[in-house]
Homo-oligomer: A and B are copies of this chain.
Amino acid sequence: MTDSSSPSTVKARLPRGFADRGPAEIGATNSMLEAIRASYELYGFEAVETPFVEYTEALGKFLPDQDRPNEGVFSFQDDDEQWLSLRYDLTAPLARYVAENYDKLAKPYRSYRMGWVFRNEKPGPGRFRQFMQFDADTVGSASVAADAEICMMAADTLERLGIGRSDFVIKVNNRKVLDGVLEAAGLEGEGRAAQKLIVLRAIDKLDRLGADGVRMLLGPGRKDESGDFTRGADLAASAIERILAFTAARAPTNAATLDNLAAAVGASARGQEGVAELREMAALFAAAGYEGRILIDPAVVRGLEYYTGPVYEAELTFEVKDEHGRPVRFGSVGGGGRYDGLVARFRGEPVPATGFSIGVSRLVSALRAMNSPLVSGRNLRGPVVVLVLDRDQMPRYQKIVSDLRAAGIRAELYLGSAGMNAQLKYADRRGSPCAVIQGSNEREKGEATIRDLVLGAELAASTKDRADYLELRQRAQFAVAEGNIVDAVKEVLSRSK
């Protein structure tokens, strides 16, 4: 029951960590999404979408050994007591979808989707609890050619968005290589899963914390600027240095990097397998002409534990200013990797899969930072406003605005109750290029006045002694016969195109 009759008022406020979006942001995001969609379609990926709600169990989001959902997700119980959660990414729901529709899908199954995801986390500046991702995944291919294809698609997509080849790089690594390094450092085995996750997340912070910060996270732990302490992996000094050396193993060419990696994994069979997969991918990049845009980089590990093979990240390399005004690389706008275990949760047999996720808001920010016409060049010109001076003549004004719309001109009738000056101010706030004015004088003559608001604003800002002032003033506001309003408005609109 809507409580609309209550006399007490309710405070109007967004929930913490959520945001409204205005026309400029919606328009910019839609243009960008359209370009990404076109790129993914070219690669043979097809659209599929899942709902916002899944069984908590399907998301794998119960707390360990408890019947309570993880606090990081928004959860609620259905009327049959089953726990439901808002999706926290687009990968887990895709795994559910593929498992549920396995026999119907032509495999390998390439698909893409964009959508909002939700995190029940402490909100902060720039940290939202609802944000948009754009994912592409190939399910049912064990070949690293599938991973390579997605890396190339990521590169093509960034170029299609107008990001030059010198301004981005796709970095590729392989979890098996890291496993090999850990093994060679004496850190293998199932019992080490939690420790390994700490190692992954530590390496993932290299960009932000540098080698010294990561060294602390691999060792005893690290206290950040706010005083918060992050537990470390408690590795021995020799293991820490071995891992740090591995992350720094990138060489000028993919071939040289691969040789470094082969040395780093030593005799580890899993490590060697990872290096061989990276060699295969490097050959595909070279054959298709992507060398230089896609680099093997051991510093890329990705913080999610479910990756099982190749991992990759799209990084923008141009500089922007950070919050202290210092130049920093823009950084990651997306990433992904192979997750052969996620669909297996449902099917009990391994189903190979690999996928890439773009952080949509972050990519829009990047395009804004580089003044991309895709997001900033949109024509945000407001509608033509037809003023209402005599309220009893509404049908007449309505006809004018209907005629304008019928001619394809964005137009509106002023619907408020203010006077003429306030109506013109309203038209300015709306970004209107032009106003149509008809008072009783004009009406009796069968005329209307057209006011060019763009030219009018220019004139108001200029001096009256310029030579063409009078001529311009005549162009900025003039009378036309009622039957010629549409043509006159068209003429005014064509001036500022």
Chain A residues with CB under 8 Å of chain B are: 1-6, 9-16, 18-23, 26-27, 41-44, 46-55, 57-58, 60-64, 70-71, 74-76, 78-80, 82, 84, 86, 92, 96-97, 99-101, 106-108, 110, 116, 118, 120, 129-130, 138, 140-143, 145-146, 148-149, 152, 156, 193, 280, 283-284, 286-289, 304-306, 341-342, 344-348, 382-383, 385, 394-396, 398-399, 401-402, 405, 408-417, 426, 429-430
Contacts and interface: CB of A to CB of B under 8 A. Distances in A.
A345 B6 contact: yes
A10 B107 contact: no
Contacts of A402: 152, 287-289
Contacts of A426: 106-107
Given A23-B46, A52-B52, A76-B74, A284 B394 contact: yes
Given A152-B402, A395-B287, A142 B417 contact: yes
Given A49-B21, A288-B402, A345 B9 contact: yes
A12 B139 CA distance: 16
Given A58-B13, A60-B2, A60-B3, A146 B405 contact: no
Contacts of A410: 41-44
A356 B371 CA distance: 36
Given A284-B398, A416-B107, A76 B75 contact: yes
Top 5 A-B residue pairs of the complex, sorted by shortest distance between their CB atoms: A44-B412, A287-B395, A44-B383, A12-B99, A141-B415
17 contacts: A2-B61, A2-B305, A11-B346, A12-B99, A15-B84, A20-B97, A23-B46, A44-B411, A52-B86, A52-B130, A76-B76, A106-B430, A108-B415, A110-B412, A149-B413, A287-B399, A288-B401
Nearest to A70: B1
B106 A149 contact: no
Nearest to A349: B9
Given A13-B100, A20-B48, 4 more contacts: A11-B58, A12-B346, A42-B408, A288-B395
